Amino acid sequence: MSSEPFFRSLQEHYSKELPFVAYSKPRTFQIRALLQKDQTLHKIENYAESGFVFAPFDIRKDAILIPLSMSKTLMTEEDVILEDFDVLKDDSVGDKESHIALVQKGINSINKGDFEKVVLSRHVEINNLNADPLLIFKRLLHTYNSAFVYFWYHPKVGLWVGATPETLLQVEGNDFSTMALAGTQEYEGVMDVIWNQKERDEQQMVTDYVTNNLDSFTSKLDISEPETIRAGNVLHIKSDLIGRLNEHENSLQKLIYALHPTPAVCGLPKIEAMQFILDNENYNREFYSGFLGELNKGVNIKPRTGKLNIENRAFTYNKRASHLFVNLRCMQLKNNSATIYVGGGITKASNPEKEWEETIVKMYTTKSVLS
């Protein structure tokens, strides 16, 4: 399907106030969509379901499913044509004093030994927007091709868009991969940058956490050396973790619960850091720093060819695949306003002023597509 009828179908579905999701995976120009046939609010029960999952930061709350069996699937291979647009002229950056006080409180708790790391966030509301949501989605597609870009809507929940650089989990059969992502600095035209000890330590914390939590699920685990990656106008440190799952009942659900929320969006230890967040951020993150993506999608796998299995070349077998992303660099759209969410990892080496500046840089990813 070409992009014009694709987006026309999305607009018609949205006008009828019916749930849907449209998304593009990193470094592709293919856009997919699931258009749910009615307004039913489907909730995840055990992660054996198939469709698109949209889960909140607080794992105790309901994760929403757009079921594959109850939806029409659309797909386009074409790039979206978009004219240049004017970037929003808005100086809203939020309450600096409150965020710096929150960061300092986090540092004080770390120094007391309450936890090693906590990820503290804030939100900013931008009013008087004149861009429609689908146009914002198109701008994200053009601007952040290396990210997972999405537009998610349910009339009983709300409307969210984003461009996240972080994979939570990718599973195909028993093979899986995830990443440890941390550290932030502004991209200034070069990838060969120097990371200070605070960022390197933070990234190592995430890597160690993921490794330890996967130990009981895996028969094999390979970890890549840390590398610098770009996500829009910022750089991060990333390590890839690739392995194979042991056979477990409800292994996907157990794996998700073991990983989410990761130290990149919560902290270490998880329970203590999450409690500090819930007690002190003074707002509900909702789906920010939750996760989203394809859940138990069927894929066809062709057998390897060779002299011993030439007769099998015409056959394929099915596997179930899931590709989930952490919901970062996102915003919630409502009427003519956008609520933008940003945060940063706090350790004992954090500087509150610099942490504030980091959130300003991160905010540009989403703010840059508003007008």
pLDDT tens, position by position, 97-124: 999 999 999 999 999 999 999 999 999 9
- How many Å apart are CA 326 and CA 335, to the nearest integer? 25
Q: Are 99 and 282 in contact (CB under 8 A)?
A: no
Residue 302 pLDDT exceeds 70: no
Using alpha carbons only, how large is the chain's radius of gyration in Å? Answer: 21
**Hey, what are 206's tokens?**
């995430």
- Give the C-alpha distances (Å, rounded to integers) separating 223 from 177, 209, 227, 336: 10, 13, 12, 44
Residue 316 pLDDT exceeds 60: no
Q: What's the average model confidence in pLDDT over 294-314?
A: 64
Confidence bin at 249 (pLDDT 50/70/90): low
Positive or negative torsion for Cα 134, 139, 144, 145: positive
Q: What's the average model confidence in pLDDT over 264-279?
A: 95
**pLDDT in the model for residue 181:** 87
Confidence bin at 234 (pLDDT 50/70/90): confident
Reply yes or no: is the peptide bond before residue 261 cis, omega within 30 of 0.
Answer: yes
57-70 pLDDT, tens digit each: 999 999 999 999 99
Q: What's the average model confidence in pLDDT over 331-360?
A: 94
Confidence bin at 315 (pLDDT 50/70/90): very low
Tokens 């952040």, residue located? 144
Tell me the three state secondary structure of residue 326.
Answer: strand
What b/e string do you get for 110-135 counting C-beta neighbours within 10 Å, with b at 16 or more?
beeeebbbbbbbbbbebeebebebbb
The CATH architecture assigned to 3-367 reads 4-Layer Sandwich (3.60)
**pLDDT in the model for residue 364:** 87
Q: Are 52 and 28 in contact (CB under 8 A)?
A: no
Percent of the chain with pLDDT over 90: 65
Per mean pLDDT, which of 24-33, 97-106, 128-137, 193-202 is the most reliable?
97-106
Q: Are 202 and 268 in contact (CB under 8 A)?
A: no
Query: At 365, which helix (H) or strand (E)?
Result: helix 352-367
Q: What's the average model confidence in pLDDT over 128-134?
A: 86
Pick the more confident residue, 233 or 114: 114
- How many Å apart are CA 24 and CA 22, to the nearest integer? 7
**pLDDT in the model for residue 304:** 53
Rounded mean pLDDT of the chain?
90
HSE, CB side, 13 Å, CA atoms: give it for residue 82. 18
Pick the more confident residue, 306 or 117: 117
- Across 78-82, 115-119, 240-244, 304-308, least confident range: 304-308
Q: Write down the domain spans for the chain.
A: 3-367
- The CA-based angle 248-244-251, given to 5 degrees, is 25
Confidence bin at 247 (pLDDT 50/70/90): confident
Residue 12 pLDDT exceeds 80: yes
What b/e string do you get for 281-298 counting C-beta neighbours within 10 Å, with b at 16 or more?
beeebbbbbbbbbbbbbe
- Across 69-73, 212-216, 266-270, 338-342, least confident range: 212-216
Confidence bin at 305 (pLDDT 50/70/90): low
CB neighbourhood size of 211 (10 A): 16
DSSP, res 69: G
- How many Å apart are CA 185 and CA 358, to the nearest integer? 7
Confidence bin at 314 (pLDDT 50/70/90): very low
Percent of the chain with pLDDT over 70: 92
Q: In sequence order, what are the beta bridge partners of 222?
A: 242
The amino acid at residue 299 is: V
**pLDDT in the model for residue 90:** 72
